[in-house]
Structure 1
C-alpha cells in the first residue's frame, strides 16, 4: 500500500522517477537546488524498499511511495509542490507524466520539468516515435497552463557509447563521414546545472535550458573512445540516405513487435540526422553552466573505460 506521506509546505521540490538510471544520476545534484523547504522523491511501491530508494534518502530526499495510476492519491502525494522534475522513461511515460502534471497543477505547482533530457527538438524535430510521444506531455501541460522547463543536453556521455557502439566486438557504425557535431553531457552534471537554473528568475515561467560537457563530431568522439579503451574500432561507414532507408525498415519491424529492432532504428536515427543536416544534437550555442565545470567527454570515457 503506498505511503500517505506528503510535504508539509507549499514550497517543495518533487522528483519523479528517482529510482531510474537518469533519476539516480541527477538526484544528488538536483538536491542542491536552493529556495525549497522540502525535497520529495515519488517512487513506485515496488521500488520503495530497493537500494535506489535508499540512495535517494542518503542524498537528502524524502522518499514517498505512490501508485501513479491512482490519481486521487497522486494529488494528495503532491501536496505542497512548487516545482516537479520528472526523469521517468518507458511505455507509460505519457500516462504518468500527464497524471503528474494535472495533480501538480491542482496543488498550485508553478513549474514542471518533463523527462525530455537530450536532443534540442526545436532543431532536431520529433518525427521518430520515441521522441514524438514526448510532445504529447508538453501539450497536456500547455492545455492546463502549467509552465514547463525543457532541458537539452545532447547525448549522455556516460551511456551513449554502450548503446551505439559494439564494445564487445570493437565495432562502431559511422553514417556519412561522421563529421556532424553532437554535444555530450555527463548525466550527473545535469542535476547540478538544473539546480542552479531553478533559482534563475529567467526560468520562473518555464523555457528551455541547454547544457553540454563537450561538443564534437561522432568520429572525434570515437577516437577518444579508442584511446580510452586501448582498442582500434572497426568502423562501418554507411551513406546517409542508405542509412535512412535502413532506419525506416528497422523501425517498421520494431513497430511490428521486434523491440530490439526498434532501438536499432533509433540508433541509426541518432547517428544519421547530424549527417543529413540536422543540428539539434549540438547544444553548445545556448549552453549554460552557472560557473560550474562540466566533465569533458575525454575525462568521462577515461574514467569509465580505462583499465
Structure 2
C-alpha cells in the first residue's frame, strides 16, 4: 500500500513516518515544501510540492491509498490541508487522516482558537467520498521530558507539570482523568493500523490512548522520581477565564489558558477505540523514571 505523510519533518508527523518506515510494509511518500534527506535515505519518496498547485498535489498523490496529515500550525496551514483534501479526492485516494493529534474535536466554536482552523478541512472531508478519521491521542507524554532528549520529535514544551523545575499549575482540583500517550506510541499505533485488513472500518474519531491518569497522580509520580515536593498551584475555570487576554495580538497568547479550559471540559479524557490494533504503551511512571531518575539535584 502507498501511504502519503504530510508534516513529516518534525513532530508527530516525523514519529509516524519513522514508525511506518521501520515497519517496512508500505511505500512511504512524504509531501513537503523542502527536501528531507534523512527520510529519503531510508527509502521514503520525498516529493516537494506547492499547496497552491492542485495539479502538482494530485500528481504527488497518484496511487496513494492513505493520506496522513500532521500539519502543525492549523492557523497557517488551513488552506493547505483543504487543498490536500481536494487533491486526494481527485487522485482517488481511499483514506484521509486530517491533522488533529490532540484532544477531541471542539467544532467551529472550539475554545482553543488554533483548533478552529481545522474545521474547513473537516467540512471538506464530510462532503467528500473519502474514508476519514480524526486522530485524538490526548496529551503527549513526552512533554514531561522537556528539555531532555525524551521530547523526541516534538518541540520542548511544559504543559501543566514542569518536572525539570518541580512545579505544577493544574486546572481544577487535579482529580480529572486525562489521556496521555507518547509520540512514539502514536507513530507505532498508526503504523499497525495501516496493516489492519481493508474490510475493518476505522472509527471516525480515531482515539489512541496510552493511559488515563490524573494530574495529582502524575505529580506524585514525579515527586517520587525527583525526590522532592513540587510547588503546586490549582486554578478554577473561573480563574482561568479571567486570565484570558481580550483581542489578543496572536492566537498563541491565550493558548495555554484555553487548553486548560478545554481540559476541564473533558476534551482530553477518553479511551482508545480501535480494538483491531494491539499495542503496549509506555506508562508515565516508566517514562518519567527513564528521563529524570538519574538527574542529580543541584541543591
TM bracket (short chain): 0.7 to 0.9
Aligned partner of 2:60 in structure 1 is 77
Aligned partner of 2:14 in structure 1 is 24
Q: Quote the offset at 1:264 in angstroms.
A: 2.8
Secondary structure class of the residue paired with 1:27: helix
Asked if 1:39 corresponds to 2:28, the answer is yes
Q: Quote the offset at 1:169 in angstroms.
A: 4.5
Aligned partner of 1:110 in structure 2 is 94
- Comparing 223-232 with 181-190, which one deviates more in the overlay? 223-232
- 1:25–1:225 Cα change, 3 Å: farther
Residues 66-215 of structure 1 aligned to structure 2 (within 5 Å): 66-90=49-73, 91-121=75-105, 126-159=110-143, 162-164=157-159, 165-166=161-162, 169-200=165-196, 201=198, 204=201, 207-215=204-212
Secondary structure class of the residue paired with 1:257: coil
Asked if 1:302 corresponds to 2:289, the answer is yes
Q: Quote the offset at 1:177 in angstroms.
A: 1.3
- Comparing 21-30 with 197-206, which one deviates more in the overlay? 197-206
Secondary structure class of the residue paired with 2:121: helix
- Residues in 2 aligned to 1:214 and 1:93: alpha-carbon distance in whole angstroms: 30
Return the match for 2:261 from 255, 261, 269: 269
**Cα RMSD between the aligned structures?**
2.7
Moved beyond 6 Å, runs of 4+: none
TM-score computed with the length of structure 1 as normaliser: 0.80
Q: Quote the offset at 1:202 in angstroms.
A: 5.8
- 1:266–1:279 Cα change, 3 Å: closer
- Residues in 1 aligned to 2:230 and 2:41: alpha-carbon distance in whole angstroms: 40
TM-score computed with the length of structure 2 as normaliser: 0.82
- Residues in 1 aligned to 2:183 and 2:166: alpha-carbon distance in whole angstroms: 24
Deviations 1:220-279 (A, max 9, x none): 122223333444321112223222332xx23x35xx3145522232343244x1xxxx33
Structure 1: tracts of 5 or more residues without a match: 1-10
- Residues in 2 aligned to 1:74 and 1:292: alpha-carbon distance in whole angstroms: 33
Return the match for 1:257 from 226, 229, 249: 249
Secondary structure class of the residue paired with 2:174: coil
Q: Quote the offset at 1:179 in angstroms.
A: 0.5
Q: How many residues align?
A: 279
- Residues in 2 aligned to 1:210 and 1:258: alpha-carbon distance in whole angstroms: 30
Q: Quote the offset at 1:13 in angstroms.
A: 0.6
Q: Quote the offset at 1:295 in angstroms.
A: 0.8
Aligned partner of 1:60 in structure 2 is 43
- 1:103–1:25 Cα change, 3 Å: same
Q: Quote the offset at 1:29 in angstroms.
A: 1.6
Greater share of helix residues, 1 or 2?
Answer: 1
